[in-house]
Amino acid sequence: MAAHVSIVIPSRNEGELLPATVASIARARTDLSREVIVVDDGSAPSVWRQPRALPGLPLSLIRTAGEGAAAARNRGAARATGDWLCFCDAHVMVPDGWLDGLVNALRSTGADAAAPGLARDDGHEARGFGYTWTAHAQLHWLPKPEVPEPVPFLPGGCLLVTRRAFEAAGGFDGGLVPWGHEDTEISLALWLTGHDCIVAPDVLVAHHFRPRHPYFVRRDEVDDNLMRVAWVHFAPARAQRFGQVLGLGHRLPAVAANPTAQRRRARLLAARRRSDDWFCEMFGLDFWD
């Protein structure tokens, strides 16, 4: 049975990268039914006044007022009609069959979420197939596996998930603002609510890695986002040690006092099917203990 996939693209000040991304998706051959939902999250100037009709590809536009990358993704998901949700950055180029490859990887493995390999769009040979943390809790891209396999974290630049798993995990954490660690958080939420995350090595998507954001992002907000991820998903002692390793332990009390973080933690603890002990043992991530 052909899947119906809703492709959600959050965008803020992406310029010509956004229409190029949508055009790439429209050109890519597929046997799947698709729709594209662009969430213009406070761009200046705003993107398209009217969504541009593309042959065989329904396209809709939502305008929000700078709610943040995670909340924008949730807005798009709420509008989506598909049973499969694909979240893409507004600066990717996709090949023929990319979406089919991701759907087939989930169907063949029984997993709930998948990401392709990501390649730089400037011709550099670097590739990343999901990512993990180093001994100092820094992001480290993983090499290409031979077959689809579980990875700790899926990149938010291109991520396919079943609607059922997405809703069970509570969607993205809208309290992460304006940007930073949304993909780490949703990966943890999926894993700990019992949903497997894999990388599909036969699918490679080109991603534009730029030297700076097209909008202002404060370093302290990104740091708070990471500590929020740790506090929401980890046992208190593990979250504290994680913060100490990163030199961010002093930020943990304020993060833990945030009412939205408290609600997120309580909801996910109630929905949990796996422990953070299980997750860290599964992927060998307690380097800091």
Q: What is the mean pLDDT of residues 201-228?
A: 90
Radius of gyration of the chain from its Cα atoms, rounded to whole angstroms: 18
Q: What are phi and psi of 121, to 5 degrees?
A: -90, 10
Kindly report whether the global pTM for this prediction surpasses the value 0.85.
yes
Q: Over the chain, what is the mean pLDDT?
A: 93
3-state secondary structure labels for all residues of 162-186: EHHHHHHCCCCCCCCCCCCCHHHHH
CA pair distance 219, 89, nearest whole angstrom: 21
* pLDDT score at 156: 94
Domain 4-207, CATH number (from 2.30.130.10, 3.90.79.10, 3.90.550.10, 3.40.50.261) = 3.90.550.10
If one compares 123 and 73, the residue with the highest pLDDT of the two is 73
> How sure is the predictor about 286, in pLDDT bands with cuts at 50, 70 and 90?
confident
Asked if 43 and 61 touch (Cβ cutoff 8 Å), the reply is: no
* pLDDT score at 211: 77
Exposure class string for 211-244: b at 16+ Cβ within 10 A, else e: eeebeeeeeeeebbbbbbbbbbbbeeebbbbbbe
Q: What are phi and psi of 172, to 5 degrees?
A: -75, 155
Q: What are phi and psi of 4, to 5 degrees?
A: -105, 120
* pLDDT score at 257: 97
Please say if the pLDDT value at position 1 is more than 60.
Answer: no
CA pair distance 134, 146, nearest whole angstrom: 22
- Residue 34: count other Cβ atoms within 10 Å of its Cβ: 21
Nearest to 94 by CA among 181, 39, 34: 34
- Residue 146: count other Cβ atoms within 10 Å of its Cβ: 6
Tens-digit pLDDT profile for residues 253-275: 999 999 999 999 999 999 999 99
Q: What percent of the chain has pLDDT over 90?
A: 84
* pLDDT score at 18: 93
List where CATH 3.90.550.10 sits in the chain: 4-207
- Residue 136: count other Cβ atoms within 10 Å of its Cβ: 11
Tens-digit pLDDT profile for residues 155-206: 999 999 999 999 999 999 999 999 999 999 999 999 999 999 999 999 999 9
CA pair distance 129, 146, nearest whole angstrom: 11
Please say if the pLDDT value at position 137 is more than 60.
Answer: yes
Residue position matching structure tokens 């913060």? 243
Transcribe the chain into DSSP letters. Answer: ---EEEEEEEESS-TTHHHHHHHHHHHS--SSEEEEEEEEES-SS-S-SSPPPBTTB-EEEEEESS--HHHHHHHHHHH---SEEEEE-SSEE--TTHHHHHHHHHHHH--SEEEEEEEETTS---EESSEEE-TTS-EEEPPPPSS-EE-SB--TTEEEEEHHHHHHTTSS-TTS-SSSSHHHHHHHHHHHTT--EEEEEEEEEEE---SS-SS---HHHHHHHHHHHHHHHS-HHHHHHHHHHHT-GGGHHHHHT-HHHHHHHHHHHHH-SS-HHHHHHHHT--TT-
* pLDDT score at 53: 61
